[in-house]
């Protein structure tokens, strides 16, 4: 029989119960809030980074449908005149584009964009309209060395019209006079102008050292016109869809952002354990009331629905708090994410991470859904049980102990299913994370059975070490399995995530250190200050090699070029190395032959591709080829080997300098590697090299400095991952505290009886610490194998599918000892407040029947 008023009465009673237990309810709210905040922070950071990239791309690319591009040196500007006058492509515009560093503005990276405003209307209309309104625009064509910049950049560094700005471009330092500042009424347009410095085409060509050349020509044209144009263009020049360039760049960072999102979801998963714990306690605490209401005619459906509704209300409060906290955390996260993207992929300037309605709705939905999902098992249990069963506390623990082996079996099946998903999912990153989540949850489901199995032995050992209190602590942990099992599982998952990520980072770092030892062979390196953390890409005069060679003590000067060229796979990074020295054979993975034979084939026109490049494009170590657009047209280059390269997951193609110069007319150099005579003082040599290069603004760094900078970039890359680990541990810490609070409230009479029988306050405190210490130790020890499994999946599956790198698994004992200490400390600290509450409680109050 259904009683209509009962649902409303139950809901009021449930919410009042939460109100009467503010500490317990607050812990649930905090657990949801922390889990949601981590997800929202990463989501805001990723969304803001994508938005900044889109706006920056739109401001540079505009509404062009296609682009005419050439090799690393660009296209001859005479082609533009021919395109408009002879071939009739009126909707075309010349573009000169390059990167520079604003030396007096904290070396902020900027994009120098050379445009012809008279041809720009079909492409970047908002730019030309804004430029036309800017004071000083009339001198744009007539004053050499002048430029117009975005308002936000100018305001950030206190620049105004008439000021000068010094830019580092390759091996030159130039000064530009600011004619005007671009101000846009549209916030979207203003964001796209942030790091732009606009010049006329001739001025930009001179500033960037591209006299007579254009970076590209933008077009608005239909398919038939493009086909006709392809037949007119000379060799080495191609017309490409403009969207292809932006899509390729955006795709580079997508795997990195997806990995962050997946790791942030782990905090929410750990928070779900906390919600389950809290709702189980809420059901147990009201077992007599629920049993009475069932006896009075309340249906199972009413009780289940009401319990889920009250969980949704509490979860909504936590989710709302988490959205606000996530916005605060997002401001820091966006800086870490944008810095990492700049280090690894492309220059990205992100101001802030605004909270959008979509992000807020996502946070609220995730929080409520996670809460209801986690509360479903205890709610269904309360609804299915008979009135008398609901009223008995022991019945729940009896069921949990009876179900522990079955739960462990189900967990083993779930873990096996997760492993199968990983093995059968091809290269899917999402499926890999889904399989990993299934493995973690499945292993967590085995925790109650493990606790039940080890606690009798622990009771015996603790009895010998601590007397009766030790045995009582172990038996209590086993007796309250419905509570302790979930708390230990949550802490175990959190610590195993810490172990897995720490092992992955330590293994990756050790692999990178070994790779740097093999790669960095020169004593001193010279390059232009770079705006990104990857290989140097500035254009230096090759004549500097002679200047450096005349420095006393210098034995050899090698060159390196990092350029981008068009290929069958889109735009690729071409690493051009000096032909005079063989590379270390340990850097290669060979199909056949040794280093010497491979290098001979490279000198004769072959190439070596990096691991990420080979993985992304399924290229074998021998027998494949790569088609590159040279100045003479497309040419096939045979792949002779695959080499290890951890500078960027974008991938690259390595070519000998003699082959490059025979195919491209681009003598510019990106960096120099200087080998010193044996016995020379490297510090003195550094000073002499700086003197020889005075006035160029170039970076002169000893081998150790380059190595330290590379490792600093590595550590910075994983800074946000470390923050995610700490937040996950914090969520689990709250979970242990919640479990201890619940056990305190449930055992009030029992503990009061012990005090009445002579247990002192100190003994009560010791008992609490023993219980929490046992839980923390269990979580720490169980996290070891789970952490190793997670590290293996991260290294051999997710890392490979995301970035294409080979990493050697390294198990450092310190990581596992730290995990055990963290588990023990988290549990013991979480037990301090419940222990303090116990000491403050009088015996009479504890023994008073409700």
- What's the confidence (pLDDT) of residue 420? 95
- Interacting residues of 43 by C-beta distance below 8 A, sequence separation 6+: 261, 264, 326, 330, 359, 362
Say which residue, 347 or 633, is predicted with more confidence.
Answer: 633
For 209-218, the pLDDT digits (tens) are 888 999 989 8
Relative to beta strand 570-577, strand 652-656 is: parallel
C-alpha closest to that of 387 among 297, 278, 483: 297
- What's the confidence (pLDDT) of residue 385? 61
For 31-41, the pLDDT digits (tens) are 778 778 877 87
What is the Cα–Cα distance from 481 to 92, expressed in whole angstroms? 73
What is the Cα–Cα distance from 26 to 15, expressed in whole angstroms? 13
Percent of the chain predicted with pLDDT > 90? 12
Q: What's the alpha-carbon Rg for the chain, to the nearest Å?
A: 33
Determine the 3-state secondary structure of 503 from DSSP: helix
Question: Binning pLDDT at 50, 70 and 90, where does residue 849 land?
Answer: very low
Q: Please state the rounded mean pLDDT for residues 79-103.
A: 88
Please spell the DSSP secondary structure of 723-742, one letter per residue.
HHHHHHHHHHHHHHHHHHHH
Question: Binning pLDDT at 50, 70 and 90, where does residue 5 land?
Answer: very low
Q: Please state the rounded mean pLDDT for residues 432-446.
A: 91
Question: Binning pLDDT at 50, 70 and 90, where does residue 696 land?
Answer: confident
Percent of the chain predicted with pLDDT > 70? 73
For residue 510, the surrounding DSSP H or E stretch is: helix 481-519
**Range of lowest pLDDT (86-90, 173-177, 335-339, 665-669):** 335-339
- What's the confidence (pLDDT) of residue 275? 65
Angle between helices 832-840 and 761-793 (to 10 degrees): 160
- What's the confidence (pLDDT) of residue 3? 44
For residue 239, the surrounding DSSP H or E stretch is: strand 238-241
Half-sphere exposure of 126 (CA within 13 A, CB side): 20
> How far, CA to CA in Å, does 473 sit from each of 531, 712, 764, 831, 844?
58, 46, 11, 13, 23
What is the Cα–Cα distance from 321 to 834, expressed in whole angstroms? 25
Say which residue, 6 or 517, is predicted with more confidence.
Answer: 517
- How is residue 114 annotated by DSSP? E
Asked if residues 499 and 788 have their Cβ atoms less than 8 Å apart, the reply is: yes
Asked if residues 590 and 621 have their Cβ atoms less than 8 Å apart, the reply is: yes
C-alpha closest to that of 209 among 177, 168, 245: 168
For 719-774, the pLDDT digits (tens) are 766 666 666 666 666 666 666 666 666 666 777 777 777 777 778 788 888 888 88
- What's the confidence (pLDDT) of residue 578? 86
Tell me how many degrees the CA angle 221-226-230 measures, rounded to the nearest 5: 145
Q: What's the mean pLDDT when you consider all of the chain?
A: 79
Beta pairing partners, 565: 572
Question: Binning pLDDT at 50, 70 and 90, where does residue 2 land?
Answer: very low
> With 60 as the cut, is the pLDDT of residue 393 above it?
no
Query: Within 693-760, where are the H helices?
Result: 703-717, 719-746, 748-756
Determine the 3-state secondary structure of 102 from DSSP: strand
Q: Which range, 72-81, 325-334, 593-602, has the best average confidence (pLDDT)? A: 72-81
The count of other CB atoms within 10 Å of the CB of residue 345 is 21
Question: Binning pLDDT at 50, 70 and 90, where does residue 659 land?
Answer: very high
Question: Binning pLDDT at 50, 70 and 90, where does residue 61 land?
Answer: low
- What's the confidence (pLDDT) of residue 850? 45
Please spell the DSSP secondary structure of 544-558, one letter per residue.
HHHHHHTSTTEEEEE
For 134-147, the pLDDT digits (tens) are 555 666 667 788 88
- How is residue 354 annotated by DSSP? P
Q: Please state the rounded mean pLDDT for residues 561-589.
A: 79
- What's the confidence (pLDDT) of residue 791? 92
For 253-265, the pLDDT digits (tens) are 566 666 667 666 6
What values do phi and psi take at 613, rounded to 5?
Answer: -65, -45
> With 50 as the cut, is the pLDDT of residue 424 above it?
yes
What values do phi and psi take at 405, rounded to 5?
Answer: -65, -40
What is the Cα–Cα distance from 241 to 337, expressed in whole angstroms? 29
């Amino acid at each position: 029989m259904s009683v209509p008023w009962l649902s409303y009465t139950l809901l009021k009673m449930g919410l009042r119960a939460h109100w009467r237990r503010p500490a317990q309810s607050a812990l649930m709210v905090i657990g949801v809030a922390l889990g949601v905040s981590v997800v929202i922070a990463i989501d805001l950071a990723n969304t803001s980074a994508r938005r900044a990239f889109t706006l920056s791309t739109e401001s540079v690319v505009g509404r062009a449908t296609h682009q005419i591009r050439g090799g690393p040196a660009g296209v001859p500007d005479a082609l533009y005149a021919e395109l408009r006058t002879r071939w009739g492509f009126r909707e075309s515009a010349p573009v000169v584009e390059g990167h520079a560093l604003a030396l007096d503005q904290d070396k902020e990276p900027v994009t120098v964009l050379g445009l012809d405003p008279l041809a720009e209307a079909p492409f970047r209309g908002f730019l030309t309209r804004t430029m036309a309104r800017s004071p000083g625009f009339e001198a744009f064509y007539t004053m050499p060395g002048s430029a117009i910049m975005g308002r936000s950049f100018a305001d950030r560094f206190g620049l105004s019209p008439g000021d000068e700005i010094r830019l580092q471009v390759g091996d030159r330092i130039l000064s530009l006079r600011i004619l005007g500042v671009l101000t846009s009424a549209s916030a979207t347009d203003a964001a796209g102008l942030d790091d732009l410095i606009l010049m006329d085409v001739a001025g930009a060509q001179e500033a960037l050292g591209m006299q007579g050349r254009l970076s590209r020509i933008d077009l608005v044209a239909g398919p038939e016109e493009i086909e006709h144009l392809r037949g007119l263009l000379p060799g080495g020049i191609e017309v490409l869809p403009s969207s292809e360039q932006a899509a390729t760049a955006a795709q580079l960072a997508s795997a990195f952002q997806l990995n962050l999102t997946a790791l942030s979801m782990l905090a929410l998963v750990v928070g779900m354990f906390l919600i389950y714990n809290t709702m189980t306690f809420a059901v147990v605490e009201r077992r007599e009331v629920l049993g009475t209401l069932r006896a009075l005619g309340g249906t199972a459906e009413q009780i289940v629905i009401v319990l889920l509704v009250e969980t949704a209300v509490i979860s909504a409060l936590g989710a709302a708090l988490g959205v606000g906290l996530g916005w605060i955390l997002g401001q820091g996260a966006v800086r870490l994410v944008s810095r990492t993207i700049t280090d690894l992929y492309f220059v990205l300037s992100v101001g802030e991470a605004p909270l959008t309605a979509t992000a807020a709705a996502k946070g609220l939905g995730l929080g409520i859904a996670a809460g209801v999902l986690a509360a479903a098992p205890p709610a269904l249990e309360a609804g299915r049980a008979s009135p008398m069963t609901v009223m008995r506390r022991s019945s729940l623990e009896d069921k949990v102990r009876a179900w522990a082996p079955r739960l462990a079996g189900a967990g083993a099946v779930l873990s096996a299913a997760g492993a199968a998903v990983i093995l059968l999912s091809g290269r899917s990153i999402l499926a890999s994370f889904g399989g990993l989540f299934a493995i973690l949850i499945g292993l967590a489901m085995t925790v109650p059975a493990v606790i039940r199995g080890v606690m009798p032995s622990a009771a015996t050992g603790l009895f010998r070490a601590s007397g009766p209190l030790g045995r009582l602590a172990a038996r209590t942990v086993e007796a309250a399995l419905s509570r302790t099992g979930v708390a230990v599982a949550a802490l175990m998952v959190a610590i195993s995530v810490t172990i897995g990520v720490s092992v992955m980072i330590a293994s990756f770092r050790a692999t990178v250190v070994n790779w740097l030892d093999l790669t960095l062979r020169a004593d001193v390196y010279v390059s232009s200050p770079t705006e990104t953390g990857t290989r140097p890409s500035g254009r230096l005069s090759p004549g500097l090699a002679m200047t450096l060679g005349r420095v006393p003590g210098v034995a050899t000067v090698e060159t390196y070029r990092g350029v981008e060229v068009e290929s069958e796979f889109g735009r690729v990074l071409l690493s051009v190395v000096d032909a005079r020295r063989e590379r270390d054979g340990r850097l290669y993975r060979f199909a056949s032959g040794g280093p010497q034979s491979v290098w001979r084939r490279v000198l004769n026109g072959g190439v070596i591709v990096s691991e990420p490049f080979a993985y992304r494009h399924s290229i074998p170590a021998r027998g494949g080829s790569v088609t590159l657009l040279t100045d003479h047209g497309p040419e096939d280059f045979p792949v002779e080997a695959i080499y290890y390269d951890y500078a960027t997951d974008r991938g690259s193609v390595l070519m000998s300098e003699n082959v490059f110069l025979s195919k491209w007319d681009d003598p510019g150099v990106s960096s120099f590697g200087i080998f010193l005579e044996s016995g020379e003082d490297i510090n003195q040599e550094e000073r002499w090299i700086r003197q020889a290069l005075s006035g160029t603004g170039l970076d002169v760094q000893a081998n150790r400095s380059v190595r330290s900078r590379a490792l600093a970039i590595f550590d910075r890359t994983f800074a946000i991952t470390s923050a995610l680990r700490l937040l996950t541990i914090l969520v689990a810490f709250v979970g242990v505290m919640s479990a201890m609070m619940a056990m305190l409230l449930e055992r009030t009479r029992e503990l009061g009886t012990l005090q009445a029988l002579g247990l002192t306050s100190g003994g009560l405190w010791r008992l609490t610490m023993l219980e929490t210490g046992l839980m923390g130790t269990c979580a720490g020890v169980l996290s070891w194998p789970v952490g190793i499994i997670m590290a293996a999946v991260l290294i051999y599956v997710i890392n490979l599918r995301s970035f294409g790198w080979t990493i050697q698994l390294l198990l450092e004992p310190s990581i596992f000892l730290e995990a055990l200490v963290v588990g023990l400390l988290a549990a013991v600290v979480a037990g301090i407040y419940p222990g303090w509450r116990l000491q403050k409680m009088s015996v009479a109050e504890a023994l008073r029947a409700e």
